Amino acid sequence: MTGSQEIRAPDLSLLTIQQDSQYDFLFYLNFICSQSASLIKIFLCSGMPVDWLVKTMQARGLEVFTQTFSRTLPFPDENKERYMVKGTNVYGILRAPRAPRTEALVLSAPCTQGDHNNQAVGLLLGLAQYFRNQIYWAKDIIFLINEHDLIGMQAWLEGYHHTNTTGMDWSPLQGRGGSIQAALSLELSSDVITSMDLVLEGLNGQLPNLDLANLFYAFCQKIGVLCTIQGKLQRNDWDSVSGYSHSVQTMMLMVMKQASGRPWGDHGLFLRYHIEAATIKGINSFRQYKTDTNTIGRLLEGMYRKLNNLLERLHQSYFFYLMPSLSHFVSIGYYMPAFGLLAVILLLRALDLWVQLASPPPGTEDGVVDTEQMWSPDVLSVLTPLVISHLTGVALYYLPIHFQKMALEHFPVSDTEAVVLTAIAVYTAGLALPHNTHRFVSGEGTEHGWRVLKLVAVLYLAVLLGCTALINFSLGFILALTLVPVAAFVTPHVPKVPSAFVLVILSPACTLLFSVFFFQELQEVPISFQDGWVLYLSVISQGILDHSLYGSLVYPLIALLVYPCWLLFWNILFWE
């Protein structure tokens, strides 16, 4: 046993560490982890050791089942180096000794090749053995080891809940627990750690209930394990400038991660099924005080005991929040008014345009003839840019994937690059639209025409941003920050070149580019421009892949809705 084990915090009513049997647990854990970790190190070079895992879990008294899945990605994923993915998930169910099989908890560890997560599987097996000897479980516990991290997890969840939303090919699950109440995913790469990092952001920016984060943090404090969020330790000096900026940085990191819409841990896919889940990562940095696997095991055992005592799903605390640190949060009631104020700008502009349109234009003498002329080309003049912009958006959505073969024939690039560069090409081609579509627009040149178009575009943008902010606040807010100013001020009469430049700089693609650099800055790993550009291309490819693999909504939202909206403003700028 290493490290001091005194408990410093006041008693929590859910605290459940059994002091006298600690020795048994530690003994088991020591033995099992050392064995498992070394064995897994041998096997992991060649894929997941399915048979060994099945045998080991069965030896621990779990009901073991496997699930095979396969998926061909639309184009190769260069980050994880996979294209045609085939894998097997292994999961063992620990049945509650006295309870009916109506509820379940999940502990998962993604098994990836190499040394990335070797310790987690060993810890999981040790915990399985310890848990099997206890009689106080009121819910089944499912120990899941998924291959190919998110893809395997998606296959397992789809199989468990009998849904098939992403077109993956998986074998049906032979064994099942009850309805899953909570899940924890474990990522542990070293056998000693200095701190545990809590990852909350899930698919489409969804977050677990704040109670889960509070539970974990309170228990970490009680055990004496350092706990971080976004990889940053929290500071005690809230009043000083540096302390405040530290927490702002932490919060901005969370905003960036949430806006990307991708699941930042295996837990991210559970949230869609209304299962509260979080990922716990062990971080080994250059600190002197290390925590060993035994304490991590105690931590997880305590967490599961707490989740076991729950009588209903976690629902009492907030589902929408931002965390500047683990002990502070900003709830939706505080941050939504900020977004509301931005949306009000758009609504005021729309009101202004409506009033301008309704009042007769100055300087007309024969009002009767002019009014007739004014109101007739309304629909036509607006519909054409709308349709053309949305068709460009649809092209941006479909062309990159479907025409990658054609791109490959003509250009010497790899598959992924072909897709990404096609996307950028379509995006840039859209910029040339206003000059080409003037032939089709009949209401060209009138003051009235662009006002109507701008009214429609502004209202459209307001509704779009509102809906986005409701689902994924960070994405909605970032888009609002960049798009609302230009949307409000763009007219055909502002100076063309500077405003075109500003409009392009604040378009979604460039916002993404700047966000990439900003994100790296926040994580204190600043990168050069070339590396940033490569990272930017990989972010675009990840976005497209996330959409086809897990159903992330960021890429279709940007391509089909935000980009056409932006194109409308581009049209307005070049109206004559």
Partner 1 sequence: MKILTLWSLFSTYLLASSLNIENHAAQFFSSGHTNNWAVLVCTSRFWFNYRHVANTLSVYRSVKRLGIPDSHIVLMLADDMACNHRNPKPATVFSHKNMELNVYGDDVEVDYRGYEVTVENFLRVLTGRLPPSTPRSKRLLSDDRSNILIYLTGHGGNGFLKFQDSEEISNVELADAFEQMWQKRRYNELLFIIDTCQGASMYERFYSPNLMALASSQVGEDSLSHQPDLAIGVHLMDRYTFYLLEFLEDIHPASKTNMNDLFKVCPKSQCVSTPGHRTDLFLRDPGSVLITDFFGSVRKVEITMETINLTDPIEQVEQSPVNGELQKERNSYVDQLPVSEIIHQKPKQRDWHPPDGFILGLWTLILLVFFKTLAFQETAVGSKPPYRVQ
Tell me which residues touch partner 1 (CB under 8 A): 11, 13-20, 96-99, 134-138, 305, 308-309, 311
Tell the smallest beta-carbon distance from residue 61 to partner 1 (Å): 18
Closer CB to partner 1, residue 6 or residue 366? Answer: 6
Question: Which is nearer to partner 1, 11 or 409 (by Cβ)?
Answer: 11
**Alpha-carbon gap, residue 456 to 248, rounded angstroms:** 36
Q: How far is the CB of 50 from partner 1 (least distance, A)?
A: 32
In the complex, minimum distance from the CB of residue 140 to partner 1, in angstroms, rounded to a whole number: 11
Q: Are 562 and 508 in contact (CB under 8 A)?
A: yes
Q: Which is nearer to partner 1, 100 or 114 (CB)?
A: 100
Nearer to partner 1, 99 or 534 (CB): 99
Paired with 135 in beta bridges are none
290-296-299-304 Cα dihedral, nearest 10 degrees? 170
Query: For 432-472, where are the alpha helices, taking DSSP H only?
Result: 433-437, 447-471
What CA–CA distances, in Å, run from 181 to 97, 140, 315, 369, 447? 18, 10, 11, 69, 59
Closest distance of CB 281 from partner 1, Å: 27
- The nearer residue to partner 1, 21 or 245, going by C-beta atoms, is 21
Q: To the nearest whole angstrom, how small is the minimum distance from the Cβ of residue 137 to partner 1?
A: 7
8 A C-beta contact, residue 324 and residue 232: no
Distance CA 444, CA 87 (A): 57
Residue that is written with structure tokens 């893809």 in the block:
151
Report how far residue 233's alpha carbon sits from residue 227's, in angstroms, rounded to the nearest whole number. Answer: 7
Residue type, 559: A
DSSP symbol at 11: P
Instruction: State the nearest-atom distance from the C-beta of 138 to partner 1, in Å.
Output: 4
**Considering beta carbons, is residue 99 or 463 the nearer one to partner 1?**
99
CB of 319 to partner 1, least distance (A): 23
Q: How far is the CB of 97 from partner 1 (least distance, A)?
A: 8
Residue number with CB closer to partner 1 (22 or 70): 22
Please give, one letter per residue, the 3-state secondary structure of 146-190.
Answer: EECHHHHHHHHHHHHHCCCCCCCEECCCCCCCCEEEEEEEEECCC
Burial degree of 45 (CB within 10 A; 0-12, 13-18, 19+): exposed
**CB of residue 102 vs partner 1: minimum separation in angstroms?**
11
**CB of 240 or CB of 309, closer to partner 1:** 309
Q: How far is the CB of 17 from partner 1 (least distance, A)?
A: 6
CB of 302 to partner 1, least distance (A): 10
- Tell me how far, at minimum, the Cβ of 27 lies from partner 1, in Å: 19
Rg of the chain's alpha carbons, rounded to an integer?
27
Q: How many helices (H) and strands (E) does the chain have?
A: 20, 13
Nearer to partner 1, 177 or 268 (CB): 177
Cβ atoms within 10 Å of 406's Cβ, excluding its own: 12
Q: Report the sign of the C-alpha dihedral through residues 250, 255, 260, 266, in that order.
A: positive
Give least dist CB 305 to partner 1, A. Answer: 7
Strands across the sheet containing 103-111: 169-170, 63-77, 82-94, 140-147, 103-111, 179-187, 276-283, 195-199, 227-229
How far, in whole angstroms, is CA 329 from its chain's centroid?
19
**Shortest gap between Cβ of 22 and partner 1 (angstroms)?**
11
Locate 289 and state its tokens: 């005080």
- In the bound state with partner 1, the residue whose beta carbon lies nearer, of 299 and 423, is 299
Give 405: exposed, middle or buried? Use CB within 10 Å, 0-12, 13-18, 19+. Answer: exposed
User: What are the start-end ranges of the E strands in 50-153?
Assistant: 63-77, 82-94, 103-111, 140-147
Q: Which is nearer to partner 1, 130 or 519 (CB)?
A: 130
**Closer CB to partner 1, 96 or 255, in the complex:** 96
CB nearer partner 1, residue 19 or residue 530? 19
532's CB contacts (< 8 A; 6+ apart) are 513, 516, 517, 520
Does an H or E element contain 274, and which?
none
76 and 230 in contact (C-beta within 8 Å)?
Answer: no
Nearer to partner 1, 307 or 549 (CB): 307
User: What beta strand segments (E) does 78-189 contain?
Assistant: 82-94, 103-111, 140-147, 169-170, 179-187
Handedness of CA 535, 537, 543, 544 (dihedral sign): negative
